[in-house]
Structure 1
């Protein structure tokens, strides 16, 4: 500042936030104040020089001139004075140089000058090449980068008083490389934007890969260079260089100079597990730390703003904090909203705040783990600090008792009591010794930026100190540290680090991933080195307070990595755990005697499980504690999490970690597992994910923590749906984003974004665990074990590939129809995008493996599975509705689509079954609850994204040039699976904002079946019947029970408007109804008819067979009689679990507005589509199944003379011989020509697929 280097508040803040004083403490931890200041000034000088060259756009000439001035200072005679007109950096360097050279060894000055001259020449070269747009080769860049990073000059300053040690130059070079390459990783996104050369870009060019792959490659290079360093680093002098290396890496982790988490995106289509692994590789620094920064929170930001305001400090910081709070207010929770209002409007909230706080949900006021009253008192205290709201006697906190407490609790209680005493005008209620104790506590633990890594505790303590010592150095130092901790979004995080805990959790997740496992030994050594004297671990480096959670995670990690190498460390940790255990079997979080916690107890079981024989009694008690903690619904207490699945995962992992010979305990564990699995199965959302609680929106963390439970103990189909959900959420940088589920202070969530990546990695790994071998019924042969070529395909996919040895495969292979359960594909692929499909088709063409395409799995004929590769597009589940258009991924199901549409005030005729896939539905035409009003699903189709056999991703629409216009025509009702893999569909929507909807059902006696059949078809074909009504005739006989003929459907209007129309229907039938129900409803209920069609994949699976006809005109009396007679035959069909009947879906109305050749769907002039069905299940005897399938053939044959050739392509009948005419009529020849242009080699084929002409 003295030399004018930093002009203005923003530059001063930027320099302060780089934390060069902290860096000096890492580089020379035992140095005195003068030396620490000197090293800090060198760090600041280097940063300012770097910023000047990189961020101010200096020309090569300007750079050369500036560096020559620096060299002149370094090479000039001692005592040279530089005039005030000299550049600020020159004057600063001159002063710094004077202080530096005083204690240097003889000859050091020439050595440093040579190093700095080399840096200057390299920097000029770099700037010149950038100006010319030159791109460097890899070797050239690496050589130049070592010279531009300034690590060697800085090392020289640290070593300046020591003897020359030239034999360590290779070690110094390795140090420079590691720091430089790490910096390149951290600054890659920024430097790409600035147009600067960076190792990531150089490697991407060198290897011909994307930037995400290049970043992962950089991380691999760093691991090798760290190994080089370790092999060469021996002796006391090498230890100094190691300390400098560690200090530089620590400074890079902590500084705001390059924001942690700046994304490196792939720039291509590589996604899925490979991209996640590459993303996580970059998250581990060269030393083995898992890097992440805690997200900003309202509580800490408001407390810092109020403290700065009270002290009259840092006006600019206060403005930024206020803007952060203002940005958070529109999306704030009720608690956060209260805190923001109290902070930003203290005068207006002082009286209101307590009453608002009293109305908060019980989860906030009651707290967790028996600390409800303390939580309530702390909230009252915070509100007092923010807006001056009154504190009453009920807010008094008792002094700390004789038992042990954590450092956090100690500071919390002291702070609350001091603040309360001051607010109530009773300073005598606190002793001087208690006040001094608080100051003493806050003066310790200075190894982190924040006291014990916690902004919350630190802020409460400083607020309390201000009440009795406002000029305390502890307060000034604390404010500086808190301002250093402010995040890039101008908010304050809850914690400044959780690095020990995160590294242990990551190390466990990395174990079985080859690209990540190579980092694990260094991570384990790092974790072992952080063990505290009591045998436990703190959750962050530099802390004093250890905890059970971090300790158990570290023990699990070290056991899994190398228990022999870490034997002594694990012995000390085991003693820590056994000494802290409670008498009832539970383990507390922090200190012995505290309330036992479920999560901690589960962790202790997992940590001690490798030594179960030595701790049998302790572990038995812990297992019983966990079992006793389970609720009747299968859930567990969510103490340190807000997610049900998180607590279930930890508990079940623990229950299955220890073998037990106790039959009673074994039974209880099995029963507990069943309850938890049932809970998770029942609470899975329609999109395949889980929310933090039932009925909440799905999120990545909750879903990722449910997957391992179900992969090990549950239904693999739910796992495959969950995996598809997860992959659909993947970010462009390969990682995942999720609302946080960790809490602290309980129950306030805090966010470490890397946890979503780590849990997703574990989930994807669990989903591919080998399944328990199932017995193979005689006469059935399993498909061969997949060869290595499947793993070759997986490496090119963003999505998931399931093969028979994986747990999720067994259910993933099943369709809705049990008839095809015997089919075992070699692999099932879930694409994450169209590029994945390109890779799948390339693979199929190369290997010759057969393809089957699946969207919802409802194929009547089983054509959506097969013996080769099944491409299941259910993973393509994006849904967007705006501006009269809806764009859905091919895997979106009916229920999801209708819910999304309803939210936007829009509607579409997209089927009635909530689990049907939109792609298959639309490509076959698409009947719905609004067919007569709005036409077919394909009539609303505006554009389809499709990957054709040649590997092209096409977006086709009616106005596309040839041949894509013909392809679009064929996709509109020509049937799925014929021309390519559809990945997305865009529709024109209907405006439903002013519409009312009514569901209805009318029934007649069984004796009236023929009359209802004829009357309904007459009424439906009558032009006077409004389009606003769409309904179906249905009669189903279950196990021989007589069934009533019914007409059921949807009306766009009110029940009062509907009743006259139904009266006219009854009059046309000529027989009185036995019942009528009309129910007003919302759009999703009207569209989905979930109460009728909800079985789908939501309910029990059954086997079924079907045939169809097209009803081209109203039924004649003879036709109605023959159809009724066929239904009457079903009354004689008794047996276990069987049902048969028929359904006639209405056509007409808007369907008739287009001629038959307008789209590939030919049945434009028909009255309806009749489908004959028979159902059975696994217990139905073979003879009864044969009777029901025989009935299908008989009724189809009986109705053929009346209805003629015709069938619905979405209800394919594998026994139908002239299916081209039945399904496609006169449109089939044109469809054949489309097939010839889009798939000339017949890559997409099945028994009733369109063929070339």
Structure 2
């Protein structure tokens, strides 16, 4: 079978697989797999409460299976902490070697949020009795900064309460702190569909001696998140984001596969008053990531019919742009991020190129300064280093001839070509390692968007490799690479199929370009051959 025919069949079956996850409302169900961190912490809470042991055996069994065969972690501090927390909750002590590994792992963790994350790690381990509690050094006001996401403020307030309790300083816990946590509980019993924040809040309320109804509602909420394997996930779902992305990809691949009008109505109906979108139903915190993808989808599908939602989303986005020209995820003034900035460029360009020309130029200048020497970018919300490059190259494809975009583009291409494995795929790291499905899909999709991505032979080899990874059900199934809270990995299973479908769709256009280029080269050579034949006569 010719590669183009094989590709068309793969796109058809992948589109059907993704579309099958759409509900009657237009929402796509992405799922979110369980992982050891939340499972172990909820087991700890169940153990200290001792009220209902019905879920505890399943939670404990999940933790034991993880210790026997660690899966779903990224290595490094993720693996170290997940392992130590599971062992501690199951009753094991920590050895001197464990403490040394923990110290070394924390020292290697490098991120702008490292202070906050180290506080989280240390307080949780202290709550489990694994380490001595750190000092209670930050005031209540520091836990609720205006620039914090709501779940961050809930977690930090909970950590303050835990520290006060661990130091026998219950007098340091104010009624206002308890009220802040309780008042921000959702009607379903969770906090912002953020299961980790919910569990930490419940542990803190229990430590503070709170026995009100919020505790029972929260416990019931977490129990409802119990997965078939006996584990607890990081979040309930991120289906708003998954729906926006799925709609955008299907609109470009096979728009007739499902009712995209219904999807668009669902998405538009969830727009917040401020013009943005949140990652899941019932979440109040809007963000640039969801808004960019929603804006791109609505603009692609029906820009006229959704012009009011598009206009409000545009204003939301431009209000987030930082002074440096980049875009953060949640609030203006937070560090700008490469993948979010590239998505914002795409969203602004696809919805109204002329109106945002100046802002787009500033965004490209920031991307040029954020690009590392090797051509890569810091990966913020995904483990794969190829993820930001997908969005940067997708943005650059819309700005051919722009000097700033061209500089960023050329260095990004060099990075991806250098990382490419001999088999045509990409792993998680440049140093090698196993082939990774999502890393390959991101890289191939980005290169397929570029006119000079790969030559035809290289491109065909990479595409054939991705096609080999397609399942018999039409979907793609591999390990997740989403991060939250960084550096912990979580898995939304549908994303492997959505991003692989995106890569296949972009690859089809790239393959047609390669074919057309070959035809053009042949046609240019034909008159010369004819002239030589005439001259020979």
**What TM-score do the two structures reach when normalised by structure 2?**
0.88
Distance between the aligned counterparts of 1:505 and 1:529, measured in 2? 16
Distance between the aligned counterparts of 2:158 and 2:264, measured in 1? 37
CA contact 1:321–1:490 (8 Å) conserved in 2: yes
Helix, strand or coil at the partner of 2:323: coil
Cα distance, 1:351–1:395 mapped onto 2, change above 3 Å? farther
Structure 2 equivalent of residue 684 of structure 1: 420
Structure 1 equivalent of residue 75 of structure 2: none
Asked if 1:612 corresponds to 2:347, the answer is no
Structure 1, residues 387-441: CA drift from partner, whole Å, max 9, x if none?
4531122875772365332101110110111111111122233322122212222
Distance between the aligned counterparts of 1:361 and 1:420, measured in 2? 19
Asked if 1:296 corresponds to 2:296, the answer is no
Equivalences for residues 413-452 of structure 1 within 5 A? 413-442=156-185, 445-446=186-187, 448=188, 450-452=190-192
CA contact 1:350–1:387 (8 Å) conserved in 2: no
Structure 1, residues 249-302: CA drift from partner, whole Å, max 9, x if none?
xxxxxxxxxxxxxxxxxxxxx973332222222111222111122011111101
Equivalences for residues 548-947 of structure 1 within 5 A? 548-609=288-349, 610-658=351-399, 666-694=402-430, 695-711=432-448, 712=450, 713-715=452-454, 716-769=456-509, 770-771=512-513, 773-774=516-517, 775-776=520-521, 780-781=525-526
Asked if 1:466 corresponds to 2:206, the answer is yes
Distance between the aligned counterparts of 2:306 and 2:30, measured in 1? 26
Structure 2 equivalent of residue 524 of structure 1: 264
Structure 1 equivalent of residue 19 of structure 2: 281
Structure 2 equivalent of residue 924 of structure 1: none
Structure with higher RCO (Cα < 8 A, 6+ apart): 2
Structure 1, residues 1211-1243: CA drift from partner, whole Å, max 9, x if none?
xxxxxxxxxxxxxxxxxxxxxxxxxxxxxxxxx
Asked if 1:329 corresponds to 2:51, the answer is no
Q: Who wins on radius of gyration, i.e. which is larger?
A: 1
Cα distance, 1:550–1:778 mapped onto 2, change above 3 Å? closer
Cα distance, 1:562–1:546 mapped onto 2, change above 3 Å? same
Structure 1: any 5+ residue segments left out of the alignment?
1-269, 661-665, 783-821, 823-1253
CA shift, 1:515, in A, is 6.1
Cα distance, 1:642–1:362 mapped onto 2, change above 3 Å? farther
Helix, strand or coil at the partner of 1:640: coil
CA contact 2:365–2:404 (8 Å) conserved in 1: no
Cα distance, 1:352–1:387 mapped onto 2, change above 3 Å? farther
Structure 2 equivalent of residue 454 of structure 1: 194
Helix, strand or coil at the partner of 1:696: strand
Asked if 1:305 corresponds to 2:43, the answer is yes
CA contact 1:705–1:759 (8 Å) conserved in 2: yes
Structure 1, residues 1161-1214: CA drift from partner, whole Å, max 9, x if none?
xxxxxxxxxxxxxxxxxxxxxxxxxxxxxxxxxxxxxxxxxxxxxxxxxxxxxx
CA contact 2:184–2:191 (8 Å) conserved in 1: no
Equivalences for residues 59-208 of structure 1 within 5 A? none
Equivalences for residues 1038-1049 of structure 1 within 5 A? none
Cα distance, 1:593–1:778 mapped onto 2, change above 3 Å? closer
Cα distance, 1:335–1:717 mapped onto 2, change above 3 Å? farther
CA contact 2:193–2:237 (8 Å) conserved in 1: yes
Structure 1, residues 756-778: CA drift from partner, whole Å, max 9, x if none?
10111111111110317545267
Distance between the aligned counterparts of 2:447 and 2:235, measured in 1? 33
Distance between the aligned counterparts of 1:563 and 1:729, measured in 2? 35
Could you say what the CA RMSD is over the residues aligned between the two structures, in angstroms? 2.4
Cα distance, 1:480–1:767 mapped onto 2, change above 3 Å? same
CA contact 2:471–2:477 (8 Å) conserved in 1: yes
CA contact 2:291–2:313 (8 Å) conserved in 1: yes
Structure 1 equivalent of residue 94 of structure 2: 349
Distance between the aligned counterparts of 1:478 and 1:350, measured in 2? 34
Cα distance, 1:481–1:779 mapped onto 2, change above 3 Å? closer
Equivalences for residues 505-520 of structure 1 within 5 A? 505-514=245-254, 516-520=256-260
Structure 2 equivalent of residue 836 of structure 1: none
Structure 1 equivalent of residue 52 of structure 2: 314
Of the structure 1 ranges 418-427 and 300-309, higher mean CA displacement relative to structure 2 is found in: 418-427
Distance between the aligned counterparts of 1:681 and 1:596, measured in 2? 26
CA contact 2:248–2:300 (8 Å) conserved in 1: yes
CA contact 1:598–1:626 (8 Å) conserved in 2: yes
Distance between the aligned counterparts of 1:739 and 1:350, measured in 2? 31
Cα distance, 1:516–1:738 mapped onto 2, change above 3 Å? farther
Structure 1 equivalent of residue 5 of structure 2: none
Structure 1 equivalent of residue 74 of structure 2: none
Cα distance, 1:395–1:373 mapped onto 2, change above 3 Å? farther
Structure 1, residues 1088-1146: CA drift from partner, whole Å, max 9, x if none?
xxxxxxxxxxxxxxxxxxxxxxxxxxxxxxxxxxxxxxxxxxxxxxxxxxxxxxxxxxx
Helix, strand or coil at the partner of 1:540: coil
Asked if 1:359 corresponds to 2:104, the answer is yes
Cα distance, 1:515–1:439 mapped onto 2, change above 3 Å? closer
Structure 1, residues 101-123: CA drift from partner, whole Å, max 9, x if none?
xxxxxxxxxxxxxxxxxxxxxxx
CA shift, 1:721, in A, is 1.4
CA shift, 1:527, in A, is 0.2
CA shift, 1:558, in A, is 0.4
CA contact 1:707–1:722 (8 Å) conserved in 2: yes
CA contact 1:380–1:395 (8 Å) conserved in 2: no
Distance between the aligned counterparts of 1:489 and 1:595, measured in 2? 37
Cα distance, 1:395–1:781 mapped onto 2, change above 3 Å? farther
Structure 1 equivalent of residue 532 of structure 2: none
Cα distance, 1:709–1:585 mapped onto 2, change above 3 Å? same
Structure with a larger share of its residues in strand: 1
Distance between the aligned counterparts of 2:255 and 2:286, measured in 1? 32
CA shift, 1:544, in A, is 1.0
Distance between the aligned counterparts of 2:441 and 2:177, measured in 1? 46
Distance between the aligned counterparts of 2:372 and 2:337, measured in 1? 15
**What TM-score do the two structures reach when normalised by structure 1?**
0.39
Cα distance, 1:570–1:468 mapped onto 2, change above 3 Å? same
Structure 2 equivalent of residue 484 of structure 1: 224
Cα distance, 1:362–1:755 mapped onto 2, change above 3 Å? farther
Distance between the aligned counterparts of 1:477 and 1:492, measured in 2? 17
CA contact 1:342–1:353 (8 Å) conserved in 2: no
Distance between the aligned counterparts of 1:498 and 1:575, measured in 2? 23
Distance between the aligned counterparts of 2:145 and 2:469, measured in 1? 50
Cα distance, 1:352–1:682 mapped onto 2, change above 3 Å? closer
CA contact 1:741–1:749 (8 Å) conserved in 2: yes
Structure 2 equivalent of residue 857 of structure 1: none
Helix, strand or coil at the partner of 1:697: strand
CA contact 2:399–2:405 (8 Å) conserved in 1: no
How many residues align structurally?
502
Structure 1, residues 223-242: CA drift from partner, whole Å, max 9, x if none?
xxxxxxxxxxxxxxxxxxxx
Structure 1 equivalent of residue 535 of structure 2: none
Helix, strand or coil at the partner of 2:128: helix
Distance between the aligned counterparts of 2:128 and 2:40, measured in 1? 7
